[in-house]
Amino acid sequence: MRFIEGTYRRQAALFPTSLDVRIEKDNEVRSIDAFVDGLDLGKMGFKVHFPENRRPAYHPSVLIKLFIYGYMNRIRSSRMLERECSRNLELMWLLNSLAPDHNTIANFRKDNPVAIKRVFRSTVQLAKAHSLIGGKIIAGDGTKLRAQNSKKNNYNHKKIKRHIEYIDRKLEEYNAALAQADGDSEKKKINDEIDRHKGRRKGYEDLQQQLEESGQEQISTSDPESRHLIIRGVVTEVAYNVQSTVDGEHNLPIDYEVTNINDKRAMGTMLRRAKTILRTSDTAALFDKGYHTGSELLTAQNLGFKTLVAVPAQASNAPDPAYNSYNFPYDRENDHYTCPQGHHLKSNGSIYTKHKGESDQTSFRQYRTKQCKSCPVRSLCTASAQNGKLIERNIYTEAFEANRANIEAEPELYKRRQAIVEHPFGTIKRQWGFDHVLPKKGCKRASADVGLIFIAYNLRRIRNILNGNGLSDPFRQHIGVLFAFLKPLRASLGRFALIYRISTVRITFG
C-alpha cells in the first residue's frame, strides 16, 4: 500500500519560497496585521519614542500583534508566546521574524492597561464602521474570573480571629508540655514550636492591623485587590468581577470594567459609558436582578435608557397578594395612594430616614388611612393590629415603578438578555478556557488581561460575521472606511510609505 510521502528534510530548494507565500490570503493574521497597522498607537498611550544610545526597543505594534494573535489562539503565557515566536510560521510572518523575550512580553501587558483598553475601543469603532452595532438594545452583566490567590490566602476579621484563637490554644499546650519536659533536646523541640507559632501569630496580628487601617472587610495576600466573591449559589472563589456591556445586534461587547465588588452599584456607571460610546437615544438596557438598585435605576432612566431590570422576588407585605403595596395606584397630583376598596392613603408630610449601613441611607414618606380601622377586608390587606396599612415612598419609587412597567409591557424583550450578554462570556470562559485572570497585583493588571481577551473576541466575532455575509475577508469591501475611521498609518511614515502600505494592504485582501 502506498502512502503520502513528505519532502526530504535536507533537500535544498531551487526557488526558496517567502513567508508571505506560505500564509493564505484569507488567513486571520492578515486581518490582525491590517487592524494594528491602522491604529495610532502613540495617541492611544503606548510608548513609541525611546532614548537613543540604549538597546533598541520593540515597537508596540509588534507586541500588540503578538498578544492579539496569542489570545485568539488561547495562548496567554508570556513564556509560551516567546516560544511560539520561534516556531510558529504565522507569528513569524506577523512579526517579521522578531522574537521578544518573555520579560518584554509580560512587561508590555503589565505597563499598558489604559492603552490596551483604547485598542478595545477601536474594535468597537471598527464594528460601528461595518454597521454591526445597533445601539437599540444593550445587555449588561458581570462574570467572575478567578484571581491568582487561593482561598487560604484570603482573610477577614472572623477568619483571622479563628486562627489566632487556635494558635493561643496550641501555645497553652506547648507551655504545659514544656513544664513537664525532660532533657534539653525535648525542651529545644518544644521551644522551636513555640517560636514558630508566635511568628505565625504575629503575622495574623499584622493582617488584622492592615484590615483595620484600610477599612476593608477582607484582605488577600497573593493578589491584594482580589476579593472572596460569590460565584453562584453557595459557591465562592477569590476572584475579580468583570462588568461588561454587550450590544444586542450581534452580541458584541462595547465596554468592560474589572472590579472587585458585586453588581449592586455598577449599572449607572456602565450605562453612562455606554451612552458615550453609542451616542444613541431610545436604547433598552437589560440587566438581571443583581442590579435592581434604586439609585442605579434612577441614574439609568435620567440618562434616557428604558430599563428592564429583573425585579427580585419580594416577600408579600399583605396576607392576600392582591393587596400588596405595588397594586395600590399612586396619584401624583394629589399625593396619595388608592387601595382596592377606594380609600386614600395620605402622608402627614414628615420625612423619615432609613439607614442601611454607614454610607447607605434613604429618605421617605409614609402613607396611611384611618379607614383601615373599619375596613371589612383589613385581614386580607395587613397583619398590623394597630397601625393598619402603611406604604413608604422614597425618591427611587418612581424609578422602580417605571422599570416594573417596562418589564410587564415587554416581557419577551427582557428574555433576550441572557442570549445577548452570556454569549461572549460563554465563548471566553467555556470555549477558550479563560476562566481566570493571569496577572497578579491588582485591578489594573487584571484589566490589561481582560482587555486583550475582549479585543481578541471582538476581532474574531467581526471577522466571522462578515465572512458569514459572503466576504472572503472581513475588510475587503470596507478597507477605505476602515482606514478613514481609525486614522490608519502613522504620519511619520511619510507620503510614499503611506501609499506603499495602503497598496500592500489592498493586495493582501484582494
Q: What is the mean pLDDT of residues 489-503?
A: 40
Please state the three-class secondary structure of 436-495 as a single string.
ECCCCCCHHHHHHHHHHHHHHHHHHHHHHHHHHCCCCCCCHHHHHHHHHHHCCCCHHHHH
Look up residue 380 and give its amino acid: L
Distance CA 203, CA 215 (A): 18
The candidate with the shortest Cα–Cα distance to 127, out of 26, 31, 252, is 252
Model pLDDT, residue 478: 44
Model pLDDT, residue 469: 65
* Cell numbers representing residue 238 in the block: 477569590
Q: What is the mean pLDDT of residues 359-386?
A: 83
Distance CA 353, CA 355 (A): 7
Q: What is the mean pLDDT of residues 476-483?
A: 43
| Residues paired with 245 in a beta bridge | 140, 255
Report the range of poorest mean pLDDT among 134-143, 354-363, 426-435, 440-449: 354-363
Model pLDDT, residue 316: 65
Q: Do residues 107 and 82 lie in contact, with contact meaning Cβ atoms separated by under 8 Å? A: no
Work out the pLDDT band at 486, boundaries 50, 70, 90. very low
Sequence-ordered list of residues with C-beta below 8 angstroms from that of 182, at least 6 positions apart, any chain = none
Look up residue 423 and give its amino acid: H
Query: Domain 137-147+228-310+411-431 belongs to what topology?
Result: Nucleotidyltransferase; domain 5 (3.30.420)
Model pLDDT, residue 63: 97
* Cell numbers representing residue 435 in the block: 476562566
For residue 107, give the H/E element and its range: helix 102-111
Question: Is pLDDT above 90 for 477?
Answer: no
The candidate with the shortest Cα–Cα distance to 356, out of 420, 418, 264, is 264
Question: Is pLDDT above 80 for 324?
Answer: yes
The pTM (predicted TM-score) of the whole model is 0.84
Work out the pLDDT band at 361, boundaries 50, 70, 90. low
pLDDT above 90 coverage of the chain, percent: 61
| Residues paired with 33 in a beta bridge | none
Q: What is the pLDDT of residues 397-434, one digit of tens each?
A: 989 999 999 999 999 999 999 999 999 999 999 999 99
Q: What is the pLDDT of residues 283-293, one digit of tens each?
A: 999 999 999 99
Report the range of poorest mean pLDDT among 68-77, 129-138, 290-299, 369-378: 369-378
Of 184 and 223, which is predicted with more confidence?
A: 223
* Cell numbers representing residue 251 in the block: 452580541
Model pLDDT, residue 315: 62
Distance CA 255, CA 11 (A): 53
Work out the pLDDT band at 457, boundaries 50, 70, 90. very high
